[in-house]
Amino acid sequence: MSETVNTPPSATDLKSIETSQTFFQIVYSQFKEHTAAVIGAYLIVFFMLVAILAPAIEWATGTDSDSQNVFNRYKPPFTTVVAPQDVRENAIQTFIRTNPEEATKIQTALLAKNLVQPVRPEDALYDWVNLEKSKALETIQTIDTSKKAELIKMINNFQSFHLFGTDELGRDVLMRLVYGTRVSIGVGVLVAIASAVIGLIIGALAGYYGGIIDTVLMRVTDSLLSLPILPVLVVIAAIDLKKVLGGLVAVSQNLFGDAGGNLAQEFVNNIFSGGKESIYKLVFILCLFSWMTVARLIRGAILSLREREFILASKTLGATDYTIIVRHMFPNVVAPLLVSVTLGVGDSILFEAALSYLGLGIQPPMPSWGNMLFNAQELIYQAPFLAVLPGILIFLVVVSFNFLGDGLQDAIDPKTVRR
C-alpha cells in the first residue's frame, strides 16, 4: 500500500473540523486577511492609548502642556530651551515675595547644608536657581519644604526639551498634539456613536412602521443628505451659544416657573464653567448632520427583515413592536451598523478638523488638531513644520478608521465587491 491512503484525522483535527465557528470567529479570521485594516486597527489602538494616557505622558516627559513662553516662539524641532538669567531671577523673586517665610527657611537650609556658596547669604536662592537643571533638582530634593513641587516645576520650565519644537505661544507642540488627540478622537467617536443611535431609532421607525411615518422621515433624511454640508455647518457653528441657552432659560422659566428657570440657569452655568462649551456645541452640531446615512442603511435592513418568517412568528406569538424591533431586529443590524460607525468616526474627525480650521470649532486654548492647523497657517512660510504635523495625524487617524471600516465590511459581508 502506498502512503496516499487516507488516514483518519486525529482526534484534535477532527474536533477542529467538527466544531462550528461562531459568527465573530469567522469575521475575525476574515478580518485578519485584510492587512491594511489590521495595521489601521493597531494605529487606532495606539492613538486611543495616547488619548487616554495624555496626563501620564505629560507627567512622564515633565513638559507642561499649557506653559506659555513668549521668548521661545516657533522653536524648531529637537530644541532644548534654556531660560536666561533674568527670567530665572524674576521667577525666584516672585516666589520669595509670595512666600517670604518659606523662602527664608529654604535659604537657611541651603546655607546650612552648604549647597550653594553665595557672596551674600540673601542671594542663596538666586544662586540656586541659576544652577544647572540636574544639580538644582538634586539640591532641592535634599531640602524639606512644603513648596517643593512648585520649585521643581519652576526648574523644569527653565530647561525644557521640545521634540517637535514650540508653537506661536511658546508651548510644546508634542504635548499639544497629545492633548489634541484626546479632543479630536473623542469628538469623532462621540459623534459617530451618537449619530448611530439617532440613525438607528429613525431608520427603525421608518422601516418598521412604513406609511406616512416612513415618508416624512425619509423626506427629511433625503433633504438633509442633499445639502452641501460645510456651508450649513459654518452657519450653525457661528451661532452664539449664550443667546441660545439664554432663550432656553427664558422658555423653561415660562413653562415651569422660577424653579425650572433656576434649574436651566444652573445647567447653563455648568456648561460654561468648564471652558468646554465649544466641544459640546460641536458634538451637537455634527450629530445633527451625520445620522442620515445610518438611518437609510437601517431602514433598508429593517424593510427586508420585516418580511422574514421569524418576525412573522414573533408577531403571531403576540410580541410587542418594541420587543420585535429591539430584541429581534437590532441584533441583525449590528454588523452593518458597526461598519457604518467606524467609517463615521473618520468623517466626524474630518468635519471637526475642518470647522476648527475655520476657527468655528474647538476654541483655543483647548488644543485640537484642526485649530492647531488654524493657528499654524499664519506663519506658514516661517514654520511650515507646525502646519504639517497636525495634518499628518488627522490623515493617519482618518485613513486608519477608513481601512478598519473597509476591513470590517469585507469580513462581515464577503459577498460584497470590494469598493
Partner 1 sequence: MTTYILRRIVQTLMVIVILSYVCFSLMTLMPGDPVELMISANPKITQEDVIRLRAFYGLDQPTYVRYFNWVGEIAKGDLGYSRTYRIPVTEMMGPSLQATFVLSMGSLIFSILVGIPLGIYCALKPNSKVDYIVNIFNFGGISIPSFFLGIVLIIIFSVVLGWLPAGGYQTTGMQYDNLFIELLDKAKYLILPIISLSVQSIGRFSRFSRSAMVEAMRNDFIRTARAKGMSEQVVIWKHGFRNALIPLITIVAISFSSVFSGALITESLFAYPGVGRLIYTSIIGNDFNVAMISFIISIAMVLIMNLVADLLYGAADPRISYK
* Number of residues this chain uses to bind partner 1 (CB under 8 A): 45
Binding map of partner 1 across residues 190-229, x = CB under 8 A, - = no contact? -----------------------------x---x--xxxx
Whole-number Å distance between alpha carbons of 191 and 236: 16
Whole-number Å distance between alpha carbons of 330 and 321: 12
Tell whether residue 57 is a contact of partner 1 (CB under 8 A): no
Residues 246-285 that bind partner 1 (CB under 8 A): 247
Tell whether residue 411 is a contact of partner 1 (CB under 8 A): no
Residues 18-37 that bind partner 1 (CB under 8 A): 36
Beta carbon of residue 374, minimum distance to partner 1 (angstroms, whole number): 9
Whole-number Å distance between alpha carbons of 162 and 167: 10
Please tell me whether residue 158 adopts helix, strand or coil conformation.
helix
Kindly tell me which residue out of 260, 300, 359, 364 binds partner 1, with binding defined by CB under 8 A. 359
Q: Which residues pair with 172 in a beta bridge?
A: 166
φ, ψ at 361 (rounded to 5°): -100, -120
Tell whether residue 342 is a contact of partner 1 (CB under 8 A): no
Instruction: Cell 483535527: give the residue.
Output: 13
Residues 382-401 that bind partner 1 (CB under 8 A): 384, 387-388, 390-391, 394-395, 398-399
Radius of gyration of the chain (CA): 30
Tell whether residue 353 is a contact of partner 1 (CB under 8 A): yes
Q: Smaller CB distance to partner 1: residue 14 or 227?
A: 227
Whole-number Å distance between alpha carbons of 146 and 363: 36
Tell whether residue 243 is a contact of partner 1 (CB under 8 A): yes
Kindly tell me which residue out of 109, 236, 303, 379 binds partner 1, with binding defined by CB under 8 A. 236
28-37 CB contacts, 8 Å cutoff, 24+ apart: 28/411, 30/410, 30/411, 30/414, 31/407, 31/408, 31/410, 31/411, 33/410, 33/411, 34/403, 34/406, 34/407, 34/410, 34/411, 36/403, 36/406, 36/407, 37/403, 37/404, 37/406, 37/407, 37/408, 37/410
Kindly tell me which residue out of 39, 87, 213, 350 binds partner 1, with binding defined by CB under 8 A. 350
Q: Smaller CB distance to partner 1: residue 77 or 359?
A: 359
Residues that bind partner 1 (CB under 8 A): 36, 219, 223, 226-232, 234-236, 238-240, 243-244, 247, 346, 350, 353-354, 357-359, 373, 377, 380-381, 384, 387-388, 390-391, 394-395, 398-399, 402-403, 406, 417-419
